[in-house]
Structure 1
Amino acid sequence: MAKEMLDLADKENEMGLTNEEMAFYDALTKPQVVKDLYTNDQLIGITKELTEQLRKSRTIDWEKTESARAGMRRMIKRVLKKYDYPPEGDEEAMTTVIQQCEMWTDNI
């Protein structure tokens, strides 16, 4: 387990991503079709933009208010659409990204 954690930290450092960004990167790259359509640098760019937009959009207790959650989903869809993210992977990516955002609530 310790080796896995060290490997993950090395991967994050190598890619220039934070822990939060790495979680979103993993969510976005889960469907194989995404890895076939984009270069790694493009995926890192999408991840950084998505993370920045999410940081700007989150508020205290956003996960408890349906209108705030809907706003976050719309923002995620806009970013994915901007980069022509494949539709067959967007729902799964959005669900995973929202779940990752819920883990942020303690860190606002």
Structure 2
Amino acid sequence: MAKSTASDPRPEEDLDHAIRQIVSRAVSSGGVVDIFAAAGLKKPDISILSDEFLEEVRSMPYKNLAVETLRKLLAGEIHGNMRTNLVRARSFAEMLERSIRAYQNHAIETAQVIDQLIEVARQMRAAQKKGEDLGLTDDEIAFYDALGVNDSAVQVLGDATLTMIARELVKTLRKNVTIDWTAKDSVKAQLRIDVKRILRKYHYPPDKQVQATQTILEQAELLCADWAETTQTGEVLN
């Protein structure tokens, strides 16, 4: 993904070091922060991508380094989402890959790819805030996204209805999944029935139900291990 030029050859270690220095200036000194993680090299925190920081990156004299800084931070955040929010991760991964590919193919200039990556960062922040504004947990917003809320046919349901669907999906699926549920055809079949029943209950567009059901079950598969572990821990404590 990294792009270098003959006039500015930089080993990966030098890029990582430079990025850590850049990010360290953007992190508040009010608490203990893992700068290596904040640089996107381990477990980045999207909250550091404030408008002020993004503008600082945009104005960096070494534009290739600015691109690499944004790419690493965004890729790290997307990687984190892959473990919890399938649809969001896929969407932003496609956006990031599309911009970087165009840049590598010289279809867009460095300044343009920086603008595009900054827009991706802002959309990531907006997606995170969306869940908070709706009062949804991380699990609930993952299923909210899995419903295909950007589809015009789905949007007619409105946020209130989509929020209720997401909450009922989490409640129903969490109660019934086990760590090995994907290996049990009978359990998978019942969960598929449960999902379809919920979608029909809220008048989800019939022509969108098959794809939505598949995506919802894929999302459940991501979260089922944590759910099952939490359930077992709760049973032990009780």
Report which stretch shifted further, 66-75 or 55-64.
55-64
Higher relative contact order (CA 8 A, sep 6+): 1
Q: Which residue of 1 aligns with 2:194?
A: 75
Matches for 1:34-49 after TM superposition, within 5 Å? 34-36=154-156, 38-49=157-168
With over 3 angstroms needed to count, the CA separation of the structure-2 counterparts of 1:74 and 1:30, relative to structure 1, is farther
**Cα separation, 2, equivalents of 1:59 and 1:26:** 23
Between the two proteins, what is the percent identity of the paired residues? 36
Report which stretch shifted further, 16-25 or 90-99.
16-25
Q: Which protein has the bigger helix share?
A: 1
With over 3 angstroms needed to count, the CA separation of the structure-2 counterparts of 1:30 and 1:64, relative to structure 1, is farther
RMSD, aligned α-carbons: 1.6
TM-score (structure 2 length as normaliser):
0.42
Ranges of 4+ aligned residues in structure 1 off by more than 4 Å: none
**Cα separation, 1, equivalents of 2:178 and 2:225:** 11
The amino acid of 2:153's aligned partner reads V
Report which stretch shifted further, 7-16 or 79-88.
7-16
**Cα separation, 2, equivalents of 1:95 and 1:16:** 25
Asked if the contact 2:178–2:225 (Cα under 8 Å) also holds between the matched residues in 1, the reply is no
Asked if the contact 1:21–1:47 (Cα under 8 Å) also holds between the matched residues in 2, the reply is yes
The amino acid of 1:34's aligned partner reads V
Return the match for 2:131 from 4, 8, 12: 12
Q: 1:14-41: CA deviations, max 9, x gaps?
A: 11112221121112124320102x1211
Report which stretch shifted further, 68-77 or 98-107.
98-107
Asked if the contact 2:174–2:224 (Cα under 8 Å) also holds between the matched residues in 1, the reply is no
| C-alpha deviation, 1:11, in angstroms | 1.7
**Cα separation, 2, equivalents of 1:62 and 1:76:** 15
Bigger Rg over Cα: 2
The answer for unaligned runs of 5 or more in structure 1 is none
